[in-house]
Amino acid sequence: CSRWEEEKKEDGVKWMQLEHRGPYFVPPYEPLPKDVQFYYDGKPLKLSLATEEIATFYAKMLDHEYTTKEIFQNNFFHDWRKEMTSEEQEIIKDLDKCDFGEIHKYFVDKSEARKALPKEEKQKLKEEADKIQEEYGYCILDGHREKIGNFKTEPPGLFRGRGEHPKMGMLKKRIMPEDVIINCSKDSKIPEPPEGHKWKEVRFDNTVTWLASWTENIQNTLKYIMLNPSSKLKGEKDWQKYEIARRLKDVVHTIRAQYRKDWKSKEMKKRQRAVALYFIDKLALRAGNEKEEGETADTVGCCSLRVEHIQLHPQLDGQEHVVEFDFLGKDSIRYYNKVSVEKPVFKNLQLFMKNKDPTDDLFDHLNTTFLNKHLQDLMDGLTAKVFRTFNASITLQEQLKALTNPEDNVAGKLLSYNRANRAVAILCNHQRSIPKTFARSMQVLQEKIDAKKKQVEEAQEEVKKAEDEFKDTKDPKAEATVEKKKKLLKRLEEQLAKMNIQATDKEENKQIALGTSKLNYLDPRITVAWCKKFGIPIERIYNKTQREKFAWAIDMAGEDFEF
């Protein structure tokens, strides 16, 4: 039996044996050299060690747009002043008078120097990192040596957050052993804390899969050290996730019939639930949990939509009953979409919006708990998230069927695959900002294409010349030359076609992030089956890390796998 299908444990128990070294702590702060100085109001000022360390966090980020944002600057200055000595607090009262330029330059130079190191030096550094990885990066779980995902604590620094996060710039404190809870098995060799320190607590809880945890100081959330995605435990969980989504396939028709019926329900609560579910199913929106105000960026999902986030158009661009969505979703990514919906949905939305202010909740009788409880009643294990996984995977499978031309060469088929993946990313609204290097690298590619075109034209001339010569002389040698020139021409034309495909792919992909769906929403067996069916090497789609994560799928799926 494969490692994915070993003996099952009793409910809730995740492991019988767990042994590890505990987290690897970030090395302590190294003070700046004497000649690198901080200036206040034009004069050099020697800072205490703690204050200096925080100053370096800001200095390192000077060329980042974060440090131009007022909220970042204010949060940083407020937290920095809290850590200063009283003498420093007396002097340093205005961020605008602080000059971090010399410190910034020091770190830029240091990073350039690291890049310029000779090969042997780089190799030495790599060996040191590998040694730490060997020592701290693995655990023993039920007799298997498993890789740990993030075995290092996060270094101290300034909180960035995503989107317009109200806490950006705040001080992320250094994690100490005294903050850390260790989880392992009773009979294992319990990890030793660093010298002179002790753990916050040691637990033996085999109903959870984390190895260590601590509370980070900015959002007060728990952080965990977990196993690497390639580990058996994570692989099984991943596999289960897609199996639940596949079960949805068998009942989705019933669910859809049910919510359509509920559009006419006498209970407002049910109507709102039915419309929200329609959005989650049709548009793959996230559920949208309630959040603490002021703690996080103002982002919403389906259940937390406000009246201001949608506009209704009885007619728009030749379509009827159009809903125009415009809101910030998870990670402050803007969701903008115009969708033609069914008439009863449109009518219900008009009803939900009646006599409400823009900032009122659209679904004021609905929360995610109520929605997910209903979903659980419809199918065991069903949550709003399962719809996203289900719709993403089904879309990939259908698009691959529609787009793949068995006659195409590998490059052509890979373009079809990426187009299918793009359809999913668009459905899930996985965007990225256009890479800074995009224009330049596109230009380089275009120059290569132009050069290749010239080569093709020259080769065409050569073929014509060789053919004429053969016509005149009928010499077998000349005939061989014709064949040789034709072969060269064909090879150049294939190279040109491949480059053109590459350019198309790059252009279509500049604002779309494919990675998120590939790693989290798409059943890897669909991809594995497609590769096997069309003879595409799996490494053309999944890199080494992804192949490790999806080892279970590569083991399991034949070319006939259907999601």
| pLDDT tens digits, 530-548 | 999 999 999 999 999 899 8
Evaluate whether residue 5 is within a structural domain. no
Return the percent helix, strand and coil in the chain, to nearest 5. Answer: 50, 10, 35
Calpha distance 180→164 (Å, rounded):
30
Phi and psi torsions of 46, nearest 5°:
-80, 125
Calpha distance 473→481 (Å, rounded):
12
Q: How would you list the strands of the sheet with 319-328, edge to edge? A: 310-316, 319-328, 334-340
Evaluate whether residue 4 is within a structural domain. no
Task: Give me the CATH number covering residue 165.
Answer: 2.170.11.10
Task: Give me the CATH number covering residue 77.
Answer: 1.10.10.41
Asked if 376 and 238 sit in the same domain, the reply is yes
pLDDT over 90, % of the chain: 69
Last residue of a domain, one of 120, 146, 171: 120
Evaluate whether residue 96 is within a structural domain. yes
* Mean pLDDT of all residues belonging to the chain: 90
| pLDDT tens digits, 511-533 | 888 888 888 999 999 999 999 99
Domain limits for position 142 = 18-26+122-230
- Pairing type for strands 38-40 and 138-141 reads unpaired
Mean pLDDT, rounded, for 415-430: 89
| pLDDT tens digits, 256-282 | 999 999 999 999 999 999 999 999 999
Residues whose CB is less than 8 angstroms from the CB of residue 90 and which lie 6 or more positions away in sequence, other chains included:
none
Residue 192: is its pLDDT beyond 50? yes
Asked if 405 and 548 sit in the same domain, the reply is yes
Asked if 343 and 412 sit in the same domain, the reply is no
Asked if 402 and 536 sit in the same domain, the reply is yes
* Cβ density class 164-187: b for 16+ within 10 Å, e for less: ebebbbbbbebbebebbbbbbbee
Residue 482: is its pLDDT beyond 90? no
Calpha distance 295→303 (Å, rounded):
19
What does the pLDDT read at residue 509?
A: 84
Mean pLDDT, rounded, for 415-435: 87
What does the DSSP 8-state code read for residue 435?
Answer: P
Evaluate whether residue 315 is within a structural domain. yes
Last residue of a domain, one of 120, 136, 164: 120
Looking at the annotation, which residues are catalytic?
Answer: 521
Mean pLDDT, rounded, for 22-43: 94
Q: What is the pLDDT confidence band of residue 1, given thresholds at 50, 70 and 90?
A: very low
Structural domain count, the chain: 4
Nearest to 302 by CA among 265, 320, 327: 327
Residue 399: is its pLDDT beyond 70? yes
Q: Measuring CA to CA, how many Å separate 292 from each of 289, 297, 454? A: 10, 10, 62
Q: Measuring CA to CA, how many Å separate 64 from each of 61, 110, 438, 450? A: 5, 17, 19, 36
Q: How would you list the strands of the sheet with 18-19, edge to edge? A: 18-19, 138-141, 144-147
Residues whose CB is less than 8 angstroms from the CB of residue 200 and which lie 6 or more positions away in sequence, other chains included:
177, 178, 179, 180, 181, 214
Task: Give me the CATH number covering residue 261.
Answer: 3.90.15.10
Task: Give me the CATH number covering residue 412.
Answer: 1.10.132.10
Asked if 205 and 315 sit in the same domain, the reply is no
Which of helix, strand or coil describes residue 76? helix
Last residue of a domain, one of 214, 230, 246: 230
Q: 43-52, 283-292, 458-467: which has the minimum mean pLDDT?
A: 283-292
Asked if 92 and 212 sit in the same domain, the reply is no
